[in-house]
């Protein structure tokens, strides 16, 4: 083990799972004078072939079971039009969450029939566009239902709709979600539908945990609703189980377990803290009692991507296998992956701008991006940074440092854990944030202080720049 990992006040290592293109790019440019002098940073790098590989992996379990259906790319995971174009090439639908996303998706040549709109708080202009173009509108609440039917009547055209339900019962709990109509009230919902104004094509579920059985329970319940609805004259063709498909960020299960154990031990007082101002990352201590749980993505898991979908499809209820239940009813099945379609598609590069000690004696590494440019949603970004140094040789450091951003804010830390370093990076050295393509690089990105946003760069198979935005 690298001796930097044994530093008692540093976080245990969390080595990122890297695609071959990432390893090649880092190796080619480590210490390259041309790279450091000409490459504009900060930058988000995108490699499209990895997106296509993810599509094949995620579609495989569906095709292997002879199911009809497929994938919608949840484009809120990444704002770049290149991904919509790649999804179109792979014949994916597009899951959109705003009027702007719908307009841009159609402008990029995606047929409106392949566009599903899951936007929350749909308003007049979005509804008019969707009905006029023939997009599929997912209804989240009764007010949306009334709005859509009113606009369909005004336009003299039927709206294509799906109904999102929530509150599914499993063996352990009623699945919580603030999204969707109460599944127990499904008959009341259908009674409000005017068949002259809407075509109900789809039932939709939004599940808040990364749990395959909960998705299967939702699917079985929705199939029963379809059985009832078809008897009432509704021709429902499909079920959409949304996103939330697990992906894996880390190489090592043991590293992930060690990190979680060490975090808990630090909160218990069994080892020194390795987080900024003793942040428990979701854990809190009250006397001798530890409450809460880590606010962390399950960065290592054994149900990554296609395994997750397979587990859903092979779940059973009352002796019935889910994928066979779909085929028996001739019902299509869709998922809306975003993050996992972006697995290893992107990474973010920035420059080290300074090194210093703070008033507590902590080493800080300043970089020319901020926390909103690499925003994890959770308490911490769970992949150790990779440093691409100008000078291959450097003095031994054997200490830890916090990576801090360029906002005038005490809270602007790229990592809240102290990263163990064997060499102290120098100004203009490059720091690589691995696997940021899904949600991390764009979802909450802001140009605070008037700084331009990081440039977006599309790479070809030779890892040469082919386009930038």
**Average pLDDT of every residue of the chain:** 94
The last residue of a domain, from among 342, 374, 394: 342
The answer to whether residue 5 scores a pLDDT higher than 60 is no
* Residue 6 confidence (pLDDT) above 70: no
CATH at residue 62: 3.20.20.10
Judge whether residue 51 has pLDDT over 50: yes
Contacts of 237 (CB under 8 A, 6+ apart): 201, 202, 331, 332
* Residue 73 shares a structural domain with residue 37: no
111 and 43 within one domain: no
pLDDT band at 1 (very low <50, low <70, confident <90, very high): very low
Give the closest residue to 306 by CA, choosing from 61, 66, 52.
61
Indicate if the pLDDT at residue 159 is higher than 70.
Answer: yes
Number of domains the chain is built from? 2
pLDDT in the model for residue 139: 98
**Structure confidence at residue 3 (pLDDT):** 43
Stronger pLDDT, 372 or 328, i.e. the higher one: 328
- Looking at the structure, do residues 12 and 150 belong to the same domain, yes or no? no
The alpha helices in 114-209, defined as continuous H runs, are 124-133, 142-155, 186-191
Q: What pLDDT digit, counting tens, does each position of 299-353 carry?
A: 999 999 999 999 999 999 999 999 999 999 999 999 999 999 999 999 999 999 9
Residue 262 lies in a domain: no
- The answer to whether residues 20 and 10 belong to one domain is yes
CATH of the domain at 22: 2.40.37.10
Same structural domain for residues 317 and 385? no
- What's the pLDDT tens digit per position in 411-430? 999 999 999 999 999 999 99
Instruction: Look at residue 237 in the predicted model and tell me its pLDDT.
Output: 97
- Predicted confidence at residue 136, as pLDDT, reads 98
Residue 2 has what pLDDT? Answer: 44
Q: What is the mean pLDDT of residues 347-366?
A: 96
Binned at pLDDT 50, 70 and 90, residue 37 comes out as: confident
Query: Looking at the DSSP assignment, which residues form a beta bridge with residue 320?
Result: 317
Could you tell me if residue 321 is inside a domain? yes
What residues make up the domain containing 420? 3-47+344-468
DSSP state of 333: E
Secondary structure of residue 278 in the 3-state scheme: helix
């Amino acid at each position: 083990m690298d001796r930097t990992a044994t530093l008692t006040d540093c976080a245990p290592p969390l080595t990122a799972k890297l695609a071959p293109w990432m390893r090649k790019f880092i190796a080619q440019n480590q210490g390259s004078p041309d790279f450091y002098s000409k490459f504009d940073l900060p930058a988000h790098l995108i490699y499209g072939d990895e997106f296509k590989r993810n599509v094949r992996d995620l579609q495989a379990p569906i095709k292997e079971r002879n199911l009809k259906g497929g994938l919608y790319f949840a484009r809120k995971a990444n704002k770049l039009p290149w991904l919509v174009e790649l999804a179109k090439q792979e014949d994916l639908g597009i899951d959109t969450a705003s009027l702007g996303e719908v307009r841009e998706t159609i402008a990029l040549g995606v047929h409106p029939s392949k566009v599903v709109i899951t936007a929350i708080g749909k308003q007049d202009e979005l509804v008019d566009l969707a009905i006029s173009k023939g997009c599929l509108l997912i209804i989240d609440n009764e007010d949306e239902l009334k709005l859509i039917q009113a606009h369909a009547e005004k336009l003299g055209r039927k709206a294509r709709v799906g109904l999102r339900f929530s509150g599914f019962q499993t063996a352990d709990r009623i699945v919580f979600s603030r999204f969707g109509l109460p599944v127990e009230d499904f008959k009341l919902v259908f009674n409000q539908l005017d068949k002259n104004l809407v075509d109900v094509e789809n039932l939709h579920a939004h599940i808040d945990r990364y749990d395959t059985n909960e998705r299967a329970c939702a699917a079985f319940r929705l199939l029963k609703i379809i059985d009832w609805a078809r008897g009432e004259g509704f021709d429902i063709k499909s079920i959409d189980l949304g996103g939330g498909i697990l992906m894996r960020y880390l190489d090592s299960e043991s590293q992930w377990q060690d990190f979680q154990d060490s975090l808990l031990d630090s909160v218990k007082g069994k080892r020194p803290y390795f987080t900024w101002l003793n942040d428990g990352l979701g854990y809190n201590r009250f006397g001798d009692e530890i409450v809460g749980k880590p606010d962390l993505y399950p960065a290592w898991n054994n149900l990554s991507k296609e395994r997750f979908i397979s587990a859903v499809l092979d779940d059973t209820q009352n002796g019935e296998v889910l994928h066979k239940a779909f085929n028996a009813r001739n019902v299509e099945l869709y998922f809306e992956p975003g993050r996992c379609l972006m697995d290893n598609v992107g990474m973010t590069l920035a420059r080290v701008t300074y090194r210093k000690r703070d008033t507590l004696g902590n080493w800080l590494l300043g970089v020319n991006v901020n926390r909103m440019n690499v925003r994890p949603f959770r308490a911490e970004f769970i992949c150790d940074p990779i440093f691409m140094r100008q000078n291959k040789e450097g003095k031994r450091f054997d200490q830890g440092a916090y990576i801090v951003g360029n906002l005038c804010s005490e809270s602007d830390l790229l990592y809240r854990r102290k990263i163990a370093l064997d060499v102290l990076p120098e100004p203009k050295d490059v720091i690589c944030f691995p696997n940021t393509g899904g949600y991390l690089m764009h979802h909450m990105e802001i140009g605070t202080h008037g700084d331009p946003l990081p440039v977006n760069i599309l790479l070809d198979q030779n890892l040469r720049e082919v386009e930038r935005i």
